[in-house]
Amino acid sequence: MANKSELLVAATDAVVAAALAIEPAKSPESLSQDRIRAVALGLFDAIDQHPWVAAQLTASSYQSTTPRIFESIGRQVCALGVPEDSRFTAASVLVEYILGAAGQNAANARVLWPDIDRVEVLDAVSRAWEELDPDDYPFTRAVADQLREHDDREQFLGGIDLVLTGIAALHLPSG
């Protein structure tokens, strides 16, 4: 490698390649959705383990790694039967959610609070939310307990399912 930048690109490429190689459990009726979930969770876990990957993907979106992620998701969007004029948007939303949510989770867990127990952080934030003005923050106060108890991976996968449900509702023929 000629410099640190090239080393980071190569390391990011290796981490992402491993995440994209994860195969889902075979379910023929929803194989494309299962592949999207497998790629999403593979990237979520990879970024959780290597938080620097999120920043590297953002900084080098024009290099081969980010287009490889887009291609992997885009092929599955095509396989879902999304009409051609909607494929770019559907794939973009999925990739942006995957990288954004995974990057934010890694930043919170590993970068912002590396030496603080996650349970303590969520409890402190939940208590702060419960103390907000009820007239200004009725929703935030109402979900404070859910924040305290949530699982990051499950919430992330729930987001993927919301996006996939939206894609199906807007773009796929009803069965």
Instruction: Give the pLDDT of the chain (175 residues) as one tens digit per residue.
Output: 578 878 888 888 899 999 988 777 665 557 889 999 999 999 999 998 998 888 888 776 567 788 899 999 999 999 999 999 999 999 999 999 999 999 888 877 665 666 777 788 888 889 999 999 999 999 999 999 999 888 889 999 999 999 999 999 988 766 5
Rounded to two decimals, the pTM is: 0.85
Q: Please answer whether residues 113 and 121 qualify as being in contact, where contact means their C-beta atoms are separated by less than 8 angstroms.
A: yes
Distance of CA 25 to the CA centre of its chain: 19
- Residue 100 within any structural domain of the chain: yes
User: Virtual CA dihedral for 69, 71, 72, 75, nearest 10 degrees?
Assistant: 160
- Left (φ > 0), alpha (ψ -120 to 50) or beta: where does 147 sit? alpha
- Residue 109 within any structural domain of the chain: yes
Domain of 63 in residue numbering reads as: 4-114+152-171
- Residue 97 within any structural domain of the chain: yes
- Residue 18 within any structural domain of the chain: yes
Q: How many domains does the chain have?
A: 1
CATH number at residue 32: 1.10.357.10
